[in-house]
């Protein structure tokens, strides 16, 4: 945070700021989500801390895991019960670790969130959950996720433990760098390395290239997302690529698009050429092109000054990531 900003005296943990509304929903959640409709009232603040009312983040954390799993499976020519469990375990783990990460983010950002219109209704700044309660909830989620991780290959286990440093650092990145989205990309795409290692027992060049491809994708979609908060970020002094790029955002997004497609194609070539049949390689190479076209479609509709458009396009990246998983799954079958 910039030093020329005056920070208001923080409220006591769990106490809403004077201008923070009491609420039973979160401003940027999907209207009519399952948490608001059917979750027991006592669980709602904790589920909202985990962003269970906004599943797009879980998808964006999970999909690189599935990419790594499917790329490794297509490389070794096998998809059995072990690989099926890895895919299921990654899904549960992504939900839990995304929840733990969001809980940590809300703990560290509680005073900032109370000053931003879109986030002041979150459970901690609105007073629905205390910091101590949030820390306990964080620990529960992380421990259950760790229990699942222990069923994977030892290399994957160590990779999972190693990711905790990235998760811990990310909420603070916007205070010291204009590129906090890089730190998000490092953390959110770590599953590509982990799932690949869970199948093969090590981290190889294809996994590294796939990881870098995912980071470029994260820079793309989270820059779009950050444009929702750009006015508040300027007032508070929070940094982001959206602020850094400004009117040059489309140019930078095109660069991330090219990097994403190129690196993903290289990952597939490194994994499959010489190991899989030609048809499987061709189908797998459809993955980066399908994703690239989806990102081109997003760019054609992006208006960085329309927060509603930014949010819709950000959420559409679930479909972009699923396209990659679909092509890689077909390649495994071939």
54: region left, alpha or beta (phi > 0 left; psi from -120 to 50 alpha): beta
Q: Largest Cα–Cα distance in the chain? A: 64
Residue 3: predicted pLDDT = 36
Each residue's pLDDT tens digit, 12-64: 444 444 443 445 666 666 677 778 888 888 888 888 888 888 889 999 999 99
Residue 34: predicted pLDDT = 79
Residue 126: predicted pLDDT = 77
Residue 19: predicted pLDDT = 43
CATH architecture classification, 34-333: Orthogonal Bundle (1.10)
Q: What are the CA-CA distances from residue 129 to residues 41, 106, 121, 133, 317 (Å)?
A: 13, 11, 11, 6, 31
The first and second tokens of residue 286, run together, are 């459809």
Are 210 and 64 a contacting pair, CB within 8 Å?
yes
Residue 16: predicted pLDDT = 45
**Which of 159, 209, 218, 160 has the alpha carbon at shortest distance from 188?**
218
**Token match 């208001």: residue?**
8
Helix axes 180-188 and 190-200, enclosed angle (nearest 10): 20
d(CA 229, CA 226): 6
Q: What is the mean pLDDT of each run of 10 residues along the chain (334 residues)?
A: 37 42 59 80 86 89 97 91 95 93 85 69 81 92 95 96 89 88 95 96 96 98 92 82 94 98 97 89 95 97 93 95 96 89
Residue 33: predicted pLDDT = 77
Residue 9: predicted pLDDT = 38
Indicate the domain borders of the chain.
Answer: 34-333
């Amino acid at each position: 945070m910039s030093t020329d900003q005056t920070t208001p005296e923080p409220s006591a943990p769990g106490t809403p700021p004077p201008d923070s509304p009491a609420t039973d929903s979160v401003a940027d959640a999907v209207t009519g989500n399952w948490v608001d409709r059917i979750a027991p009232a006592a669980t709602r603040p904790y589920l909202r801390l985990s962003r269970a009312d906004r599943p797009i983040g879980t998808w964006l954390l999970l999909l690189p895991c599935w990419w790594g799993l499917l790329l490794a499976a297509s490389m070794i020519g096998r998809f059995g019960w072990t690989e099926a469990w890895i895919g299921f375990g990654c899904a549960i783990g992504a939900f839990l670790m995304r929840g733990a990460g969001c809980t940590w983010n809300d703990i560290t950002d509680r005073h900032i969130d109370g000053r931003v219109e879109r986030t002041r209704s979150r459970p901690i700044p609105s007073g629905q959950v205390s910091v101590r309660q949030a820390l306990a909830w964080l620990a529960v989620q992380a421990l259950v996720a760790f229990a699942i991780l222990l069923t994977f290959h030892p290399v994957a286990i160590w990779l999972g433990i190693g990711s905790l440093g990235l998760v811990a650092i990310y909420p603070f990145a916007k205070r010291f760098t204009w590129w906090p989205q890089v730190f998000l990309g490092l953390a959110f795409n770590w599953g590509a390395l982990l799932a690949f290692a869970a199948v093969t027992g090590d981290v190889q060049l294809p996994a590294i290239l796939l990881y870098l491809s995912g980071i470029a994708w994260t820079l793309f979609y989270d820059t779009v997302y950050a444009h929702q908060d750009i006015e508040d970020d300027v007032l508070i002094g929070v940094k982001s690529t959206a602020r850094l790029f400004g009117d040059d955002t489309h140019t930078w997004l095109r660069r991330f698009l090219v990097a994403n497609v190129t690196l993903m194609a290289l990952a597939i070539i490194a994994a499959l050429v010489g190991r899989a049949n030609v048809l499987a390689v061709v189908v797998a190479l459809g993955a980066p092109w399908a994703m690239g076209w989806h990102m081109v479609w997003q760019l054609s509709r992006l208006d960085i000054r329309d927060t509603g458009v930014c949010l819709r396009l950000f959420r559409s990246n679930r479909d972009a990531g699923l396209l990659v998983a679909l092509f890689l799954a077909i390649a495994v079958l071939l």
